[in-house]
Amino acid sequence: MAVETKFVVVRKGEEKMTFANKKEADAYDKMLDMAEAFTDWLLQHQPALEETQAETLGLLIAEQKDAVQHILRTSKLPEALPSASAVDHEENDDVATATNTKKVRAVKAA
């Protein structure tokens, strides 16, 4: 019997993404926190923007933070745009919620 450790990112009490290591889970969790902050900022500065649009834009900005930082530093597009991360865009309705990462042990029969 093998024991497998998994790390699960949870939002609104719902499991959103599972990772094999804590570093990846924490990075995803941090990206979702950043998306939430961008969403709030967009809604403050563009009140006419629908919340779902703000969440989508907030998530995009957070996912593409390296490209955004490059544009802010240089006022130019990056030469090679990084591909979109493995974030499921159907999750953006959960961006503006509390978050935590929990460790789950799954036992698999050998």
What does the alpha-carbon distance between residue 54 and residue 102 come to, in Å, rounded to a whole number?
28
pLDDT tens figures, 68-87: 999 999 999 998 755 544 44
In 12-109, DSSP assigns E strands to 14-19, 99-108
Contacts of 26 (CB under 8 A, 6+ apart): 101
- CA angle, 35 as apex, 106 and 24 as ends, to 5°? 30
Residue range 22-45, pLDDT digits in tens: 999 999 999 999 999 999 999 999
Q: Which two tokens stand for residue 22?
A: 């804590």
Say if residues 35 and 28 touch (Cβ distance below 8 Å): no
**pLDDT reading at 56 higher than 70:** yes
The 3-state DSSP composition of the chain as helix, strand, coil percent (nearest 5) reads 50, 25, 30
- For the segment 60-75, the average pLDDT, to the nearest whole number, is 96
pTM: 0.67
With a cut of 90, say whether residue 110 has pLDDT above it: no
